[in-house]
Amino acid sequence: MKKLINNPEVVVEEMLAGLEAAHGNLVRKVSDANVIVRKGSPVAGKVALVSGGGSGHEPAHAGYVGEGMLDAGVAGAVFTSPTPDAVYAAIKAVDSGQGTLLVIKNYTGDIMNFEMAGEMAQADGLQVASVVVNDDVAVENSTWTAGRRGIAGTIFVHKIAGAAAERGDSLEEVKRIAEKVVANVRSMGMALTPCTVPAAGKPNFTLAENEMEIGMGIHGEPGTHRDEIRPAKDVVQHLMGKILPDVPYVKGDEVAVMINGLGGTPLMELYILNQEVRAILEEEGIHTYRTYVGEYMTSLEMAGASITLLKLDPELKGLLDAPANTPAFHQR
């Protein structure tokens, strides 16, 4: 195992300390918890957004804490759901009295632990609501999930629901908008290589030199099938062939596109994928309103990528365009 770490047992704590050291003008770490909150939290008069999950997906989730997005990001151990106590600490740190929305990716452990934390907060008299993101069209049920997995489309939920909360919307309204994003966002990914969890010290699966896995999950969960490595055009055609009919996205629609690298994919290759996505959208008569290319939700050092489409309307476009200022996402 080749990694720039000190001790596999404290990688999360040291990562968050480094994040705070780099972006102390935007965020701070909660004492005795692997939780990053927006500097100045709680923000008076504002619904709070809390999300999180296992570490290893950076910049998700702590990288999206700040103006216009999340109020808190909760980090579990690598590829492991955060504990209810950690999520509860996050809620307590950012709740301003206007309520908290929990944005949960659809993994069994995440749902159980976030919901338990929400119940703990409600027992303290706090108002808590939640939304579950399940944008992955690859498989209906998989390792760690009942139903579709939540992957990179979660970032659009953070951005748009975060903008609604920032402008002062109520908890009920922020939840409605978050659910609208969930209903209109779809993703699918693929992997060229495995990744290595620091505590395990070895890859979590194997792929031959000439193999790729289609529909791979962000924790290394199996996809739909393995295939010989093919040109980027063929890969995109397959992924888009699963994504487009699912909402469906049709002629005349406007979409936001996210080409997401899984941690070990050169930006050169992500832009090549984006070119192929744009060509298919143009052929289908679908207008690309905004495009995001980069690493948004990774899987340690895995080589691979995912494609996300979000169907837009005037309401979602306005919120997508709103300012944001976080360690990993800046928009003015």
pLDDT digits (tens, 9 = 90+) for 178-236: 999 999 999 999 999 999 999 999 998 899 999 999 999 999 888 899 999 999 999 99
121, HSE (Cβ side, Cα atoms, 13 Å)? 30
The pLDDT assigned to 180 comes to 98
Known active-site residue 57? yes
Residue 165, pLDDT > 70, answer: yes
- What whole-number distance in Å separates Cα of residue 74 and Cα of residue 49? 11
Q: Catalytic: which of 57, 61, 158, 238?
A: 57
* CB atoms closer than 10 angstroms to residue 13: 14
CATH of 185-320, one of 3.40.50.10800, 3.30.1180.20, 3.75.10.10, 3.30.420.40: 3.30.1180.20
The pLDDT assigned to 68 comes to 98
Q: Catalytic: which of 23, 61, 158, 219?
A: 219
Query: Once rounded to an integer, what is the mean pLDDT over residues 297-319?
Result: 98
The pLDDT assigned to 204 comes to 83
Residue 127, pLDDT > 90, answer: yes
The pLDDT assigned to 205 comes to 87
The pLDDT assigned to 301 comes to 97
CATH of 8-183, one of 3.40.50.920, 3.40.50.12280, 3.40.50.300, 3.40.50.10440: 3.40.50.10440
The pLDDT assigned to 222 comes to 85
Residue 142, pLDDT > 70, answer: no
- Band (140; pLDDT cuts 50, 70, 90): confident
Mean pLDDT of the chain: 96
The pLDDT assigned to 72 comes to 98
* 41-53 confidence digits (pLDDT tens): 999 999 999 999 9
The pLDDT assigned to 268 comes to 98
Q: Which residue has the higher pLDDT, 225 or 141?
A: 225
List the structure tokens of 65.
Answer: 């804490």
The pLDDT assigned to 143 comes to 64
Query: Once rounded to an integer, what is the mean pLDDT over residues 306-315?
Result: 98
The pLDDT assigned to 144 comes to 61
DSSP three-state, residue 10: helix
Q: Show me where the domains of the chain are located.
A: 8-183, 185-320
CA distances from 93 to 43, 206, 280, 317 (A): 10, 41, 45, 30
Percent of the chain with pLDDT over 70: 98
